[in-house]
C-alpha cells in the first residue's frame, strides 16, 4: 500500500488506490530526500485517460501538460512543436498457451505460420504511428552492447521475423499435416486500451487473411483482468509485453525459462533453459561466455518462435514547452522528475 511504503527518492506516491483500478494519483515532493533542494516541483499529478482524443482535448485546452498519443492522432500530430517520440526498452509480443500437452500451439510450425503472417512494418507505421519500430527479436534494440562495447545485442542475436506470406502458408500447411487438422479456432486476449484494441484487430486480420482455415476472435478486457487471466493460463493466445527493469538482455530472456511465473504460455525448451541457467550461474562472472549464452538463448527462442514479437514500443507525447528537463530512461523507471521544472 502507498500509505505504508518507504521512499528514498525525490517524490512519494500519494492518493493511489491500486494498479488497474485507480485513475488519479500524484507524486509529491519528498521532504526527507537527501537532495531535496534540487527538486523544483512540489507535485506531479497523474490522470488515466484511455482515449487519445479526450487526452488531446485536455492538452489543447491547457488542462494538462503531457499526454500520450496513439494511432491516427499520433500521426496527425507528428509535426506539432510539442510532439515527442520516446523509444523504450520494451517489446510487445504474443504468447501462445502451450500448457496443455494437446495444445496446437506446441507445434512450432503453427507458431511460425502465425509469426510470418503479421506485417510488423504496417503495424508500426499505419496503426501505431508513435515511433514504435519493427522488432529484431525478443530483446529490443539499445538495451545492451557486447563486452567490447561495439555491437548491439540485436545485431548479433537478432533474427529475421519479418512478414512473409509464402513462408506463413508453407508453415501452416506443415502444421495442419502434423496436427491432423484443416481448421483452427483461436482467441487473442488483450487489454482494452485504445491502442491495444487497434493492435489486436490488426493482428486478427493479418492471421485470417493469410492463413486460410484459421478463425480468430479477440477478447479486449481491462488490464487487471488480462493480467489475472494470463497468470491463470486462462487464454488461447494473449498480447502483452515487457519493459526492461534494467539494461541487460536477461531482463527479457529470463522471462521464458520454463518455470518462470512470467512465462504465462509455458514455453518449454531444455536447450533454452540450459543457456539461461549458464548465464546466471556457471558463466555469470565471465562476460564473454555469459554474452554467448544470452545470444544463444535469443536465437533458440526465436528459432522456435516460442513467443511472437510484435513491435518495440515507443511512446508519442505532446509535452508542453513550459515543461523542462524531464529525464526519460528506456530501461527501469521511465521518468525522473528530479530536475524538472515549469518555465512560465
Whether the Cβ atoms of residue 89 and residue 244 lie closer than 8 Å to each other: yes
Q: Are residues 158 and 127 in the same domain?
A: yes
Rounded to the nearest 10°, the torsion over CA 240, 246, 247, 248 is: -80
Using the 8-state DSSP alphabet, how is residue 288 labeled?
H
Q: Are residues 218 and 205 in the same domain?
A: yes
Q: Which domain holds residue 75?
A: 2-87+315-342
pLDDT of 330: 77
Q: Are residues 269 and 147 in the same domain?
A: yes
CA–CA dist 248, 255 (Å, integer): 13
pTM of the model: 0.80
Q: Are residues 103 and 184 in the same domain?
A: yes
Q: Are residues 184 and 215 in the same domain?
A: yes
Phi, psi of 68 (to 5 degrees): -105, 135
Q: Are residues 25 and 156 in the same domain?
A: no
Q: Are residues 43 and 138 in the same domain?
A: no
Residue 21's CATH number = 3.40.190.10
pLDDT of 2: 58
Q: How sure is the predictor about 291, in pLDDT bands with cuts at 50, 70 and 90? A: very high
Residue whose cell numbers read 508519442: 316
Residue 84: strand pairing partners? 317
Residues in the chain: 344
Look at residues 184, 290, 273, 285 and name the one whose alpha carbon lies nearest to residue 237.
184
pLDDT in tens, 165-189: 999 999 999 999 999 999 999 999 9
Look at residues 268, 107, 279, 281 and name the one whose alpha carbon lies nearest to residue 181.
107
Q: Are residues 80 and 146 in the same domain?
A: no
The total number of structural domains that make up the chain: 2
Extract the C-alpha cell encoding 234.
Answer: 486462462
Q: Are residues 264 and 177 in the same domain?
A: yes
Q: Are residues 81 and 94 in the same domain?
A: no
Residue 128's CATH number = 3.10.105.10
pLDDT in tens, 58-92: 999 999 999 988 778 888 888 899 998 888 899 99
Q: Are residues 66 and 131 in the same domain?
A: no
Q: Are residues 224 and 335 in the same domain?
A: no
pLDDT of 315: 85
295: left (phi over 0), alpha (psi -120 to 50) or beta: alpha
Handedness of CA 223, 225, 227, 233 (dihedral sign): negative
Amino acid at each position: 500500500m502507498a500509505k505504508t511504503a518507504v521512499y528514498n527518492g525525490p517524490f512519494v506516491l500519494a492518493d493511489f488506490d491500486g494498479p488497474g483500478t485507480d485513475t488519479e494519483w500524484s507524486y509529491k515532493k519528498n521532504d526527507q530526500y537527501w537532495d531535496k533542494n534540487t527538486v523544483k516541483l512540489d507535485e506531479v499529478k497523474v490522470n488515466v485517460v484511455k482515449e487519445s482524443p479526450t487526452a488531446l482535448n485536455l492538452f489543447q485546452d491547457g488542462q494538462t501538460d503531457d499526454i500520450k498519443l496513439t494511432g491516427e492522432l499520433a500521426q496527425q500530430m507528428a509535426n506539432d512543436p510539442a510532439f515527442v517520440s520516446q523509444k523504450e526498452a520494451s517489446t510487445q509480443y504474443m504468447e501462445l498457451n502451450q500448457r496443455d500437452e494437446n495444445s496446437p500451439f506446441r507445434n512450432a510450425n503453427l507458431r511460425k505460420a502465425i509469426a510470418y503472417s503479421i506485417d510488423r512494418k504496417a503495424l508500426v507505421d499505419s496503426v501505431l504511428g508513435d515511433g514504435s519500430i519493427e522488432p529484431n527479436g525478443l530483446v529490443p534494440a539499445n538495451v545492451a552492447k557486447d563486452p567490447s562495447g561495439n555491437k548491439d545485442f540485436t545485431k548479433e542475436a537478432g533474427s529475421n521475423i519479418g512478414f512473409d506470406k509464402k513462408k506463413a502458408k508453407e508453415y501452416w500447411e506443415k502444421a495442419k499435416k502434423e496436427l491432423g487438422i484443416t481448421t483452427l479456432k483461436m482467441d487473442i486476449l488483450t487489454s482494452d486500451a485504445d491502442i491495444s484494441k487497434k493492435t489486436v484487430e490488426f493482428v486478427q486480420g493479418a492471421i485470417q487473411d493469410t492463413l486460410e482455415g484459421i478463425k480468430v476472435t479477440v477478447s479486449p478486457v481491462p488490464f487487471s483482468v488480462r493480467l489475472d487471466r494470463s497468470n491463470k493460463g486462462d487464454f488461447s493466445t494473449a498480447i502483452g509485453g515487457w519493459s526492461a527493469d534494467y539494461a541487460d538482455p536477461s531482463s527479457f530472456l529470463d522471462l521464458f525459462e520454463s518455470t518462470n511465473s512470467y512465462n504465462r504460455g509455458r514455453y518449454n525448451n531444455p536447450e533454452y533453459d540450459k543457456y539461461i541457467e549458464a548465464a546466471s550461474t556457471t558463466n555469470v562472472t565471465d562476460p564473454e561466455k555469459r554474452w554467448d549464452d544470452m545470444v544463444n538463448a535469443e536465437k533458440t527462442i526465436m528459432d522456435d518462435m516460442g513467443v511472437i514479437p510484435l513491435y518495440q514500443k515507443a511512446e508519442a507525447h505532446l509535452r508542453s514547452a513550459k515543461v523542462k528537463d524531464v529525464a526519460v530512461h528506456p530501461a527501469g523507471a521511465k521518468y525522473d522528475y528530479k530536475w524538472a521544472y515549469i518555465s512560465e
